[in-house]
Structure formats: C-alpha cells, structure tokens
Structure 1
Amino acid sequence: MTTSAASTYEAGIRYSQDGPVASVTLDRPDVLNAQTPAMWAELGNISRKLPGDVRVVIVRGEGRAFSAGLDLSVARGEGDSSLAELARLSPEESADRIAGFQDAFTWLRRPSLITIAAVQGHAIGAGFQLALNCDMRVLADDARFSMAEVTLGLVPDLGGTKRLTELVGPSRALEICVTGRRLPADEADRLGLATTVVPRDELDATVRDLTAAVLAAPAGAVAEIKALLAGAVTRSYDDQDRAEREAQTRRLRDLAGLE
C-alpha cells in the first residue's frame, strides 16, 4: 500500500492506495472536515497524479462527519480565496478561480473510475456536493445531507446541481437547494440520493463489499457501462441505442483482441 506525502496530510487530506483501490480521506475531524481551498488544491493534485491502474476511488471523512462544508473561518477571512477577495476580482477572474475549485470535485466523474462516497454524520454544502460527484453514495444511518449555500446567500457551485437534479428531479432539487434543510439518511434513500443505507458500524464493510463487486467486473466493460448511463439522460432513444451498439462493438473487438 502507498500512503500520502506530508504535504497532502498537512492540507487536511489523506491518500492511500491498495492495488486498484485508492482512498481519499478528509482529515480535519476537529472541525468536522470543513473544507478549505488548500484541501481542494490537494484533491486536484491527487487527481492529476492518480496512477492509471486505479479503478475505484473511495472518498471518506475522518471522525464523526463526512464534511461540514466550507470552512467559514477561511471564507470570511481576508485570504486569496475568501469570499471578499473573490468578490473583488473581475467576473472573469472570479469564474476562473471557481473553475479551479470545481476541478477538485469533478474528476470524480471520470469515466475510467468508479467513485464511492462513504458518508457518516453531516455532509453539508461542499460536503454534499463532494458526495454527489461520486458515482455511488453509501450512507450510514446517521448521515445528513444539506445544500446549505443559500444560508450564506450563495449558490451550489462545485458540480453538484446537475447530479442532484438528475437524481431527484428539478422540483425536489429546487426545494432542497433553496431551503438548505437537512435530509436524514432514510429520506435521502427514498429520494434516490443513496446507493444504500446501513448501520454506522457496517459502513466500512459495506464499502469494501461494494468495491470488491466492482473490481470483479472487467474494467473495460465497467467504463463503457458508466459512460452509457452518464449520457443516457440527455440522449434520445435512438441516440442511446446507437451508443449501446457502438459500445458493444468496442467490447466485442476488445475481447477478441482486435482493439
């Protein structure tokens, strides 16, 4: 197993790899894994350095919570990434800065990876969006989701709005975002936000079993299936049928050693 460098740890992120499985852990338990731009920069670094043999990425939070969202002490401070500083930038510069923040989240949608969020306790704002960017969300029964950006007069901007809308529909997504209310695990499960909900002491074992099931399937087939399903929402039936034909042709040729 390989483990994180010191710089990764100091940024509040732990990284480890065991064969084709990488684990990324938010590691600021004293502040419920509240997120900072330094953490996002390190998540981006991990995505760029991720070895090509990694097939599954597990995202976790150390301690009682997955993530309490944006660290307000940073957001309300005077640093380069504070809300006040972002407001002082030109619209183009501000958008570019936010695009860099988004990169820390959106790589989890990469077609070659299956990404799993193991969520316990609070997943608020940026924490909720981090989980949404993962392909699957395994929730402990004490998990709580909240899209709380509205309470700061802000909007969700870390890649979570499209996935949320796809999962629960536009009306429910709007209600979740504009109220900022807490969604307990059982409601998240009913709405389709959870892959499964398990007792807290079964969270790690459930994630291990799910990871093993993913790894038991051929990598090429898994990547094609993920791409097919990701595009299905916006394709017509005819276009989706065509995408299936093309994907199957690639799989047949690969299995025959012709690719």
Structure 2
Amino acid sequence: MSEPAPAVSAPALLDRDGVRLTVDGAVATVTLANAAKRNVQSPALWRALAEAGRTLPGSVRVVVLRAEGVSFSAGLDRQAFTPEGIAGEPSFLDLARGDAAELDATIAAYQEAFTWWRRNDVISVAAVQGHAIGAGFQLALACDLRVCADDAQFAMRETSLGLVPDLAGTKPLTELVGYARALEICVTGRYVQAAEAERIGLANLVVPGGELDAAVADLTAALLAAPRDAVIETKALLRDAAPRGYDEQRAAERAAQGRRLRDLAGVGE
C-alpha cells in the first residue's frame, strides 16, 4: 500500500518526537511520523501525544489520528527494556528497581497520551493501516472510532512478554468485544485481521488501503454535520451509560434533553 498523502496542509502546531499536529478549522490531525521505524513508541512520543491534546484549539471538533508508512504503530520500542534504555530515557528495568510509588506515577504519566482522545468535546477517529501492535493497538483503542485499511492487523503482545496492557486499552477493548474475546486476544497475543476486527466491533469500517483517507474524510464530514453541543451531550450520555443503572441513565437523558431544549429556546440556565 502506498503511503497516504497528508490529510491537511495547515502549518504544524506541534512537530517533534515522531508526532505532528495540524489543525484545519474544526478538524485536527495527529500524525505518527516515524515511518522508517514503523512508528514505534517511546516515552518521548507519549509526551508529545499528551502535549498534542493540550494544544488543541477550542474550535476543534474531530481529531483524526493517522500514521505515515506501512504500519500504524509496531508498538513500544523494545530498547526500553534493555539496561541502557532508549537514549535520553530511563531504562524500564531501572524504573522497576526503584520506588513503587515513583513507578506508578511514571506509568500514570505515560497513560496521559492515551486518555484525552475520548473527552466529550471532540470525537477522535483512528485511521489504521498495517500493524497496530501492543501500544499501537492501545493507541487505536484510545480513539472513539476506528477506520481500517484491509491490511490492518491488531495484536496485544504484552501478556506474551510477561507484562499486561497498561496504556488504558483494557477497558475500551472489553467494551468493544466483550470480556471473553478480550481475554483471548490479550492472552494469546494473536493477530486480529481487519475483517475480523470489523465483524467483532473493533473496527467501525474496513476499506481498501487506497481508500483509507477518503473514508476518514467522509466520516469526518458526517461527524461535523450535527450541532456541536448536541454531539457533546450525546457522546457524554453514551460514554457514561455502561456503569449507570437503567433509571439513572433515563434521568441523565432527561437532564441532557432539558439543557438542549432550553438552549434551542434561548432560555438561560
């Protein structure tokens, strides 16, 4: 598959450590831009992703996450587990030998790169081609929606390496495919091909590789068609539905609709 053309031509608001952020009106594009290394991930990349979330202008309604090259992301740079670690970063082995509270805080900081994509004021769309492995899989899961090329392959390899998925991916994976299938995918570390991903609800849409950008653009246009405040309220209702009881969710619907009706009627709170 040929490398997709950049989705927007606007100047980059952020361009470092393998992450580029551009904004064109209501649409922001976050690009993983280390194609030569299949967009492997590192703490520096995670810090850049977190900064991208903090940098988004308030006008942005849709965030597209895409990747240059043949792979979405081949996962964590394994150099992190060597005694020398990634250049400029502490070795994960040294972190493990240190204070437990400091280790917990470090992992929490890493997770910030994966948490902002689902905030209520934006809808995030991952455009996935090729491999999305480990941390790459979890980054795709961080987004609200996933559009995949037909060569996309997902795999959660952490458990096979004696670890666990710890970058905020376990909850969305379980919500999307159910506990039993999520457990099987994580423990076996097997590849989930694009067709299966669509069948089990992991992918919203699968298209030929050459049509990936166009499919994402069409979806983005559809997401922008509804009034922003109604989209925000609807997303909040759906995001918080799972832990609520039926009556609690009905009450949340009434409250949200009341706010929408008062807004449409021009009535203040």
Query: How far off is 1:257 after superposition?
Result: 2.1
- Report the equivalent of 1:120: 129
Query: What TM-score, normalized by structure 1, do the two folds share?
Result: 0.96
Q: Which amino acid aligns with 1:162?
A: K
- Report the equivalent of 1:202: 211
Q: Hey, which bits of structure 1, 4+ residues long, moved more than 4 A? A: none
CA contact 1:37–1:81 (8 Å) conserved in 2? no
Q: What stretches of structure 2 of length at least 5 have no aligned partner? A: 1-8
Number of residue pairs the alignment of both structures matches: 257
- Report the equivalent of 1:255: 264
**1:24 equivalent in alignment to 2:33:** no
Please, which moves more after superposition, 207-216 or 78-87? 78-87
Q: Which amino acid aligns with 1:97?
A: T
CA contact 2:16–2:48 (8 Å) conserved in 1? no
CA contact 1:118–1:139 (8 Å) conserved in 2? yes
Residue of structure 1 aligned with 2:163, choices 154, 162, 165: 154
Query: How far off is 1:179 after superposition?
Result: 0.8
Q: Distance in 1 between matches of 2:83 and 2:197?
A: 33
| RMSD (Å) for aligned C-alpha atoms | 1.2
Query: How far off is 1:2 after superposition?
Result: 3.9
**1:173 equivalent in alignment to 2:182:** yes
- Report the equivalent of 2:100: 91
Q: Distance in 2 between matches of 1:141 and 1:258?
A: 49
CA contact 1:75–1:81 (8 Å) conserved in 2? no
Residue of structure 2 aligned with 1:4, choices 12, 20, 23: 12
Q: Distance in 2 between matches of 1:117 and 1:81?
A: 29
- Report the equivalent of 2:67: 61
Percent identity between matched residues is: 59
Q: Distance in 2 between matches of 1:158 and 1:152?
A: 15
Q: Which amino acid aligns with 1:10?
A: R
CA contact 1:64–1:121 (8 Å) conserved in 2? yes
- Report the equivalent of 1:187: 196
Residue of structure 1 aligned with 2:81, choices 75, 90, 106: 75
Query: How far off is 1:258 after superposition?
Result: 2.3
Q: Distance in 2 between matches of 1:237 and 1:145?
A: 34
Partner SS for 1:9? strand
Query: How far off is 1:73 after superposition?
Result: 1.9
Query: How far off is 1:74 after superposition?
Result: 3.1
**1:52 equivalent in alignment to 2:58:** yes
CA contact 1:78–1:85 (8 Å) conserved in 2? no
Structure having the larger proportion of residues in helix: 1
Q: Distance in 2 between matches of 1:2 and 1:71?
A: 30
- Report the equivalent of 2:4: none
Q: Which amino acid aligns with 2:12?
A: S
Q: What stretches of structure 1 of length at least 5 have no aligned partner? A: none
Q: Distance in 2 between matches of 1:201 and 1:151?
A: 33
Q: Distance in 2 between matches of 1:220 and 1:23?
A: 21
- Report the equivalent of 2:229: 220
Query: How far off is 1:77 after superposition?
Result: 4.6
